[in-house]
Chains A and B, each alone.
Chain A
Amino acid sequence: MNLFFFALAIQILPTIIIGFLPDNRKASVVTHFLLVAGLILGFSSSFNALVFSNTTQHNISIFGIPNSLFRFDALALYFLCIIQLVAIPISIYSYSYFKYYIERGKSVRSTLVFYTLLLVSTQLLVSANHSIVFLIFWEVMSISAYLGMIFEKEKKEVQTGSFYYFVMNHIVVYLLFVFFFLLHHQTKSWLFSDFHISPEAGKIFIISYALSLIAFGMKAGFMPFHFWLPRAHPIAPTVFSAFLSGIIIKTGIYGILRTFQFLNPTPEWLGWLVLAVSMISAIFGVWYALAQHDIKKLLAYHSVENIGIIGIGIGIGFIGSAYHSLPIQVLGFGGALLHTLNHAIFKSLLFIGSGVISQNLGTRNIELMGGLVHRGKYFVMLFLIGSIAISGIPPLNGFISEFIIYNGFFVTAKELKNYYPLVMLISAVGLAFVGGLAVACFTKINSIMFLGSERKEVKHFNISFYEYVSLGILAFLCVVIGFYPQPFIGIVNKVLNNGFVPVSSSSALLSINWFYISLIFGIIFLGVLFVYFWKRAIQNKYGRRTSAAWGCGYENVNPRMQYTASSFADELNEISKSVLVYHKNIKPSKKIFPAEASFESHSEDLVDNKFVLNGFRNFSSMISKIEFLSHTDIRYYISFILIILTIYGLIAFLWN
Chain B
Amino acid sequence: MQNVLSILFCLSLFYLAVTSRVKAYVSVLRFQGILLTVLLVFPFINHFSVYAFILPATLFVVKVILIPRYINKIILDLDIKRMIEPSIQPFTFQLLVIFSMIVIFVASNILSKSTSIETIPFASGFSAIAVGIFVIIFRKKLIIHVAGFLVLENGIFLFGTAVASELPMMIEIGTLLDVFVVVFLMGIAMNKISSTLSGFDVTALGRLKD
Residues B209 and A638 in contact, CB atoms below 8 Å apart: no
List residues of chain A with CB within 8 A of the CB of B111.
Answer: 653, 656
List residues of chain B with CB within 8 A of the CB of A622.
Answer: none
Residues A633 and B203 in contact, CB atoms below 8 Å apart: yes
Residues B202 and A634 in contact, CB atoms below 8 Å apart: yes
**A83-B111 Cα distance, complex, nearest whole Å:** 56
**A656-B138 Cα distance, complex, nearest whole Å:** 32
Residues B137 and A632 in contact, CB atoms below 8 Å apart: no
A642 contacts chain B at the CB level, 8 A cutoff = yes
Residues B202 and A635 in contact, CB atoms below 8 Å apart: yes
Residues B107 and A635 in contact, CB atoms below 8 Å apart: no
**A634-B145 Cα distance, complex, nearest whole Å:** 11
Residues A635 and B137 in contact, CB atoms below 8 Å apart: yes
**Given known contacts A632-B209, A633-B206, A642 and B137 CB-to-CB distance under 8 angstroms:** yes
Residues B107 and A653 in contact, CB atoms below 8 Å apart: yes
Cβ-neighbour of A632 out of B114, B133, B138, B206 (below 8 A) = B206
Taking the closest CB of chain A, its distance from the CB of B31, in whole angstroms, is 25
List residues of chain B with CB within 8 A of the CB of A55.
Answer: none
B205 contacts chain A at the CB level, 8 A cutoff = yes
List residues of chain A with CB within 8 A of the CB of B206.
Answer: 631-633
**Given known contacts A653-B107, A656-B114, A632 and B136 CB-to-CB distance under 8 angstroms:** no
A546 contacts chain B at the CB level, 8 A cutoff = no
**Given known contacts A656-B111, A656-B114, A642 and B202 CB-to-CB distance under 8 angstroms:** no
Taking the closest CB of chain B, its distance from the CB of A442, in whole angstroms, is 47
A540 contacts chain B at the CB level, 8 A cutoff = no
Binary interface encoding of chain B residues 80-120 relative to chain A, with 1 for a CB under 8 A from any of its CBs, else 0:
00000000000000000000000000010011001000000
List residues of chain B with CB within 8 A of the CB of A631.
Answer: 206
Residues A634 and B133 in contact, CB atoms below 8 Å apart: no
Taking the closest CB of chain B, its distance from the CB of A148, in whole angstroms, is 27
Closest chain A residue, CB of each to CB of B134: A642
**A631-B114 Cα distance, complex, nearest whole Å:** 41
Residues B137 and A638 in contact, CB atoms below 8 Å apart: yes
A511 contacts chain B at the CB level, 8 A cutoff = no
Binary interface encoding of chain B residues 183-209 relative to chain A, with 1 for a CB under 8 A from any of its CBs, else 0:
000000000000000000011011101
Residues B202 and A638 in contact, CB atoms below 8 Å apart: no
Binary interface encoding of chain A residues 635-648 relative to chain B, with 1 for a CB under 8 A from any of its CBs, else 0:
10011011000000
Residues A633 and B202 in contact, CB atoms below 8 Å apart: yes
Closest chain B residue, CB of each to CB of A636: B137
**A638-B139 Cα distance, complex, nearest whole Å:** 12
**Given known contacts A653-B107, A656-B111, A656-B114, A639 and B205 CB-to-CB distance under 8 angstroms:** no
List residues of chain A with CB within 8 A of the CB of B203.
Answer: 633
Residues A638 and B114 in contact, CB atoms below 8 Å apart: no
**A656-B136 Cα distance, complex, nearest whole Å:** 31
Taking the closest CB of chain B, its distance from the CB of A246, in whole angstroms, is 39
Within 8 A of A (CB), among B149-197: none
Residues A632 and B107 in contact, CB atoms below 8 Å apart: no
Binary interface encoding of chain A residues 243-284 relative to chain B, with 1 for a CB under 8 A from any of its CBs, else 0:
000000000000000000000000000000000000000000
Taking the closest CB of chain A, its distance from the CB of B26, in whole angstroms, is 21
List residues of chain B with CB within 8 A of the CB of A642.
Answer: 133, 137
Taking the closest CB of chain B, its distance from the CB of A635, in whole angstroms, is 5
What are 14 A-B residue pairs whose CB atoms fall within 8 Å in the complex? Answer: A631-B206, A633-B202, A633-B203, A633-B205, A635-B136, A635-B202, A638-B133, A638-B136, A638-B137, A639-B137, A641-B133, A642-B133, A656-B111, A656-B114
Other than the given A633-B203, A638-B136, A641-B133, 15 more pairs (CB < 8 A) read A632-B206, A633-B202, A633-B206, A634-B202, A635-B136, A635-B137, A635-B202, A638-B133, A638-B137, A639-B137, A642-B133, A653-B110, A653-B111, A656-B111, A656-B114
Q: Which residues of B contact A (CB under 8 A)?
A: 107, 110-111, 114, 133, 136-138, 202-203, 205-207, 209
Q: Which residues of A contact B (CB under 8 A)?
A: 631-635, 638-639, 641-642, 653, 656
Which 9 A/B pairs are nearest by Cβ-Cβ distance?
A632-B206, A635-B137, A642-B133, A639-B137, A638-B136, A632-B209, A638-B137, A633-B206, A633-B203
